[in-house]
Amino acid sequence: MLMLKAYAKINLGLKILSKDEVDGYHLVDMVTLPIELHDRIEIEVLPDNFDTIITCDDRSLPTDESNIVYKTLKVLNEKHPINKKLRIHIHKIIPVCAGLGGGSADAAAVLIGLNKLLKLKMSQEELCELGSKVGSDVPLCILNKPARVSSKGEKVEVIKTKKTHKVLLVKPSIGLSTREVYLKYDEEKEESLVNIDGVVEGLIKGDNQMVFDNMGNDLEKPAFSIAYETKNIKDLLKKNGFDNVLMTGSGSCVYAIIPKDKKTENIENKLKKMGYTVFVTKTLI
């Protein structure tokens, strides 16, 4: 049996540039950081008289053909026919529909794991190429590095960062559909104030203030109009002394960069009593 970690990510910046009217996808420019929060993936080769199965300890996550891991297996099988029966178990910790990239992380871990387990000898570049056929964020999760991601998500440029950050993650009970949030954005779109160049420069220099001054997410406002509870979380964090608070991805999770030496136990307990899912984690470099 092979066990792997599938790491979540947060967005320090998400800027929408335009929309491809042919396929409906939005062109974006964004900065993502992997974080320690992760799912655990177990891959086991079964005897030939078994069928390949996917299991998960989170009952809200379907394990039928709609699960991204099935799509991953299909894409991999087209390039490297899999002659083994497998059991793939997802120990789900990353909240779903949160903007944390959990599904993409699971898909990336499965590709990496099967490449090792089945001795397919694919390079990282080949893995990323396959991953892009599964989902736009999968190559990013395969690399698992701070990165600038552009176009429709297929262009990934690794950023050499100098600092890590402790992060408080808060997710309301409601999840958000990426498609629904983008549709709302198209209805209400406004001029972006997000400066991705500034975020990247700040990360490279290790200048936290430059990062904080330029970070932002163009999807916050449309997401807040769909799920007002998400805005409430952001407002509550700011009232409790967190200056750098942002929704990640298309939501509904909101995170706060934890200032050095700031205690979080009280706000964690308060948020949990309000019914929110709360994690304290840190970014990876």
Q: What DSSP designation does 230 have?
A: H
* Residues 6 or more apart in contact with residue 223 via CB below 8 angstroms: 176, 181, 184, 230, 247, 250, 251, 252
Contact 159, 31 (CB under 8 A): yes
Exposure letters 103-113 (e unless 16+ CB within 10 A, then b)? bbbbbbbbbbb
Known catalytic membership, residue 9: yes
Among 9, 15, 92, 184, the one annotated catalytic: 9
Asked whether the beta carbons of 145 and 159 are under 8 A apart, the reply is: yes
Residues 248/100, Cβ–Cβ less than 8 Å: yes
| From 29, 39, 106, 137, active-site residue | 137
Helix, strand, coil distribution of the chain in percent, nearest 5: 35, 30, 35
Give catalytic status of residue 74 as yes or no. Answer: no
Residues identified as active-site: 9, 137
